[in-house]
Amino acid sequence: MNRTPVVFIHGAWLHALSWEAWAERFASRGFLAFAPGWPGEAAAARDVRMSPEPLGGLGLSTLTDHYAEIVRSFDVSPVIVGHSVGGLIAQHLIGADVGRAAVAIAPAPVNEIPLPPSPVPLWTPGEAGDTDQLVSLSAERFHQVFANTVTAEESDRLFERYAVPAPGRLLGDLGCAGAARSPLAVADVGNAGRGPLLLISGQEDLLVPDSVTRAAYKQYGDSTAVTDLKQFPDRAHSLVIDSGWRFVADYVLGWLDERGVRAHPEGG
């Protein structure tokens, strides 16, 4: 029997293992769960932190092409679940009719939506041509801006298992620190024929504030395609990995079921 694949796309400063609990949860519900890493990403976050150079030149174009190829490779059209820049890519792909449905969690902003400056400066663009710059967060900074709603002890555990440097080129493509945003940081918000889309925000998110996700939701207002918004109070950018991850994952599973996207497609 055919099963519906789910492709998880992680965001900046996180490793693909950030989806490990989600993948297990979705698999237990009958979905085929895949959490492919970025090109060149080592098997564990600690390995990436020790030797991050393969990630240095990655930009939004490479990541978008990478995941588009993966999503298109399945016989059954997958669900795309993305966090942060993964949420931007998920919107871009579903807007281009790639994928069965999409979930964008704390997504990096699409189209002309501005990204408010971080409360703590995270990155200064390098000199022209410095395409391999990497931006690391210390454990303290990770707690301050990424996992700001959990204890320092929990944040340190999350950092050790999941945190990796982010490519400066990618941060520039996202428009961070006033850099020119990539032409690929877009979604076709007017596509009425695409699959259903769920936008999720954490209302205490300091990196991608709730206001950014609400602005994206508003852009979809003129489309007749299904677009839903779920706001989680008291949750930060770490909402996919911290101790409350299951509340978010189970909401997504329920939403997929309500929208008729099930683990075993009819006739499969």
Indicate the domain borders of the chain: 5-258
Query: In whole angstroms, what is the distance from residue 26 CA to residue 240 CA?
Result: 14
Round to whole Å and give the CA distance between 200 and 250: 13
CA dist list (Å): 220 to 160, 215, 217, 261: 37, 9, 5, 20
Q: What is the pLDDT of residue 73?
A: 97
N- to C-terminal Cα separation, the chain: 5
Closest CA to 208 of 180, 173, 179, 236: 236
Looking up tokens 């925000």, which residue turns up? 201
For the stretch 103-135, pLDDT in tens is 999 999 999 998 877 766 666 666 444 557 899
User: 184 is written with which tokens?
Assistant: 């690929």
Q: Is the pLDDT of residue 140 over 70?
A: yes
The pLDDT score that the predictor gives to residue 115 is 82
Judged against a pLDDT cut of 50, whether residue 186 lies above it is answered with: yes
Structural contact between residues 102 and 198, judged by C-beta atoms closer than 8 angstroms: yes
Q: Is 126 exposed, middle or buried (0-12, 13-18, 19+ CB in 10 A)?
A: middle
Q: Which CATH architecture has domain 5-258?
A: 3-Layer(aba) Sandwich (3.40)
User: pTM of the predicted model, to two decimals?
Assistant: 0.96
What per-residue confidence (pLDDT) applies to 213? 98
Q: How confident is the model at residue 216, as a pLDDT?
A: 97
Residue 92 exposure: Cα atoms within 13 Å on the Cβ side: 27
DSSP letter at 23 equals: H
Tell me the average pLDDT of the chain: 93
pLDDT score at 136: 92
Q: Distance (Å, rounded) from C-alpha 98 to C-alpha 259? A: 17
* Residue 129: how many other CB atoms lie within 10 Å: 6
pLDDT at res. 127: 43
> Checking DSSP bridges between strand 101-105 and strand 5-9, what pairing results, if any?
unpaired
Write out the two tokens for 96. Answer: 């281009």
> Closest Cα to residue 102, out of 200, 169, 205?
200
pLDDT of residue 133: 86
Q: Is residue 80's pLDDT more than 50?
A: yes
Question: Is residue 41 packed enough to be buried (19+ CB in 10 Å), middle (13-18) or exposed (0-12)?
Answer: buried
> Rounded to 5 degrees, what angle do the CA atoms 37, 38, 41 make?
80
